[in-house]
């Protein structure tokens, strides 16, 4: 995997869309739309199918101190997004022996 790109974020995706003939503005608008729809789906509590598994929203655990107090920090979201690998993806990424 010597040719693996270092940055697989939004800029990389825009670059790949531009290689297909789209303008920068059009590429950015498409990505913004896709990410916004993914965020809406996760906020509704639904699962987003994703390469190598799925994305889902789970309730965050804050630890014993917050459970004792009975309150969560106001500046932190109660939910986070996790990437769950399916069995086939796990074998592909980690090898068949694991």
CA dist 65 → 58, 61, 71, 80 (Å) = 20, 11, 9, 19
Instruction: Note the pLDDT of residue 79.
Output: 66
Averaged pLDDT of the chain: 76
- In this structure, the answer to whether residues 3 and 28 fall within a common structural domain is yes
Written as one string, the DSSP assignment of 47-72 is -EEETTEEEEEEEPP--HHHHHHT--
Residue 77's nearest CA partner among 94, 49, 57 is 57
Q: How confident is the model at residue 90 (pLDDT cuts 50, 70, 90)?
A: confident
**Burial of residue 57 (number of CB atoms within 10 Å: 0-12, 13-18, 19+):** buried
- In this structure, the answer to whether residues 96 and 50 fall within a common structural domain is yes
In the chain the first and final C-alpha atoms are separated, in Å, by 20
Instruction: Note the pLDDT of residue 73.
Output: 55
State how far the Cα of 32 lies from the Cα of 17, in Å rounded to an integer. Answer: 13
Give me the residues paired with residue 79 across strands.
59
The domain of 36 spans 1-44
* pTM of this prediction exceeds 0.75: no
- In this structure, the answer to whether residues 19 and 53 fall within a common structural domain is no
Domain tally for the chain?
2
């Amino acid at each position: 995997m010597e040719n693996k790109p270092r940055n697989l974020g939004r800029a990389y995706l825009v670059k790949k869309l531009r290689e297909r003939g789209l303008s920068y503005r059009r590429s950015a608008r498409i990505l913004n739309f896709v990410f916004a729809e993914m965020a809406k789906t996760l906020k509704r509590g639904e699962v987003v199918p994703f390469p190598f598994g799925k994305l889902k929203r789970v309730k965050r655990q804050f630890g014993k101190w917050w459970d004792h107090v009975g309150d969560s920090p106001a500046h932190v979201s109660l939910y986070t997004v996790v990437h769950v690998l399916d069995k086939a993806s796990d074998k592909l990424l980690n090898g068949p022996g694991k």
